[in-house]
Amino acid sequence: MPPSLDLKEFQDKLSTHFRPWQRSFQFWVRAADIYSGYKAFQLRVTFERDAQKQEAMWERQHEVAAEKIYNMCSDLGGFFLKIAQIIGKPDLAPAAWVRRLVTLCDQAPTTPYHVIQVVLEKELGRNVDELFERFDADPIGSASIAQVHRARLKGDKDDVVVKVQHPGTQDLMMTDIRNLQAFALYMQKTDIKFDLYSVTKEMEKQIGYEFDFKREADAMERIRRFLYENNKKAPVRVPRAIRNMVTRRVLVMEYIDGTPILKLEDEIAKRGINPGGKIAAAAKQNILKSLTLAYGQMILKSGFFHADPHPGNILICKGSEVALLDYGQVKDLPDSLRLGYAKLVLAIADNDPIRASESYRELGIDTLSKCEDEQNELFKLAQTMFDTKLPPGVTMLQPFSEGSSIKKVSVQAFPEELFSVLRTVHLLRGLSVGLGINYSCAEQWRPIAEEALYRAGRLKGEDLKTKRHRRGLFRR
C-alpha cells in the first residue's frame, strides 16, 4: 500500500521551493515602480520654473517613494531591513525617507519561542532548563539574521544575552542580494556613475560571514582585547562571549545594560535634563568622541574593525559610556589598503586635493572625469565618501542631481574591501547628524593616521614632529 500523502507537508515544501521566486518577483515589481516614479517625476518637475514650488514637488515625491520603500522593506524583511538601515540616514537620503525608514530599525519579525528552543537544544546539546536558571521567552531584540533573549546561566548571578539565528533565512538573503546586484548593475549604467556592483559583492561576502557565530565570537574577543590593550580605558565597551556556549547558530555573551542611542533624547529628557542644553551637548560630544576614537584605532591602527555601527548596535551606559554590539560584520583590511586609507585621511584633513587624487589611485579607485575642474570635484567626492563632515553647502548626497560629484566624476572601479570603510564612515556621519554635531572624522583621525604611516616607515620622524608641532599637538 503506497504511503499516504501529507497534504500540509507537501504544501510547505512547495511554498519553500517557490518562495525565492515569489520574493524576486515582488522585489522587481516594487523596485521598478519606485524607479519609474522618480524618472517620470524628473521629467515633470522640469516644467515648473518656480524654485519653491519645485522643492515642494520634490518633497511630495520623496514622501510617496518613502512609503513604497518602507512597505517593500517591511513586507520582505530580512536583507531589506539592512538596506533600510543603509539608506535611511539623514546625510544620505531625503528627509522623508529618513523619517519613514528609521522606524524599521527594531521591527524585524521574531521567531516563536518553541522554534528557538529547538535550535538552542540542538546546538548546545542540552535542555534549556538544564543550562539556564532563567530564560526570557520574549526576545529583547530581533534583527534580520537573529534575535536575542535575556537569560541567566545556572549557578551565575549575572545575566547573559543569548543570540539565536532565525532558521531558514540564509538562502532567502542570498536571493535578495543577487536581485540587488542585478539592480545595481542597471543603476550604474544609467543613473549613478559609481561601481555599485562591487559594493554589493562585498555585502554578499559580509552577510555570508554573519551566519557563523563562532567567527563573530572570535572577532568580538579580538577587538575587545585590542581596544583594552591600546588604551588606559577602552573608548567603547565590547561584550565578552561565554566561550563554552558558542556554536555556528547560537552565541551566549555578557549582558550590558544601557539605553539604545536612538532613545537617548527621551532618556535625557526623562532625567530632567534639557536635550538642547549644555549638559546634553557635552554628553553627545563625549559619545561621538568615544566612537570616533574606537573606529580610528580599529581601522587605521589595527585594520580589523567592527563594520556595522548603525544605531541599533550602539548602547549608551552610565556616564555616557558607549557599548558597541553585534560583531557579525567585521573587516580585516590588508596593510596596503589600511595605509592607503591613512594617506587619504591626511589628505582630507589637510585639505589637499593633489594628495587625495594620489591616494585614490593608490587605493585602486578608478575615476573618469566629466568636468573641467577635475581635481577639486574629485576632492569633494573624497570628502563626501570618506569624511563625516559634509562639504560646504551640502546637506545630503543626491546621486540623481546633475550637480553632484558622482555625476561629474564617474567612479568606474571601487575596491570591494573598501566598502566596509565607506559604510562605516557614512554610518558615523548619520549618527553625528542625528546628534546634531557636524564634525570631521578625518581631522579626529589625523594623529592615528600619522602614527600608522610612521610605524610603517611611510612618514619620517622629523616630518611627524613638524606636522604635530604646527598644529600644537606635539607632545614633549
pLDDT value at 310 more than 90: no
Give me the mean pLDDT over the 314-324 stretch: 91
pLDDT value at 5 more than 60: no
- What is the pTM assigned to this prediction? 0.80
**pLDDT tens digit string along 210-250?**
999 999 999 999 999 999 999 999 999 999 999 899 999 99
pLDDT value at 332 more than 80: yes
- Report which of 109, 135, 108 is spatially closest to residue 121, judged by C-alpha positions: 135
What pLDDT, on the 0 to 100 scale, is given for residue 286?
92
Confidence tier at 400 by pLDDT (50, 70, 90): very low
What pLDDT, on the 0 to 100 scale, is given for residue 461?
61
What pLDDT, on the 0 to 100 scale, is given for residue 69?
93
Neighbours of 437 (CB within 10 A): 16
Contact (Cβ atoms closer than 8 angstroms) between residue 143 and residue 161:
no
pLDDT value at 475 more than 50: no
Q: How remote is the C-alpha of 445 from its chain's centroid? A: 19
Half-sphere exposure of 329 (CA within 13 A, CB side): 21
Confidence tier at 376 by pLDDT (50, 70, 90): confident
What pLDDT, on the 0 to 100 scale, is given for residue 3?
55
Give me the mean pLDDT over the 71-100 stretch: 79
What pLDDT, on the 0 to 100 scale, is given for residue 203?
80
Give me the mean pLDDT over the 420-438 stretch: 85
- Across the chain, what does the average pLDDT equal? 85
**pLDDT tens digit string along 146-179?**
999 999 999 999 999 999 999 888 888 888 989 9
What pLDDT, on the 0 to 100 scale, is given for residue 474?
39
Best-predicted range by mean pLDDT (43-52, 156-165, 265-274): 156-165
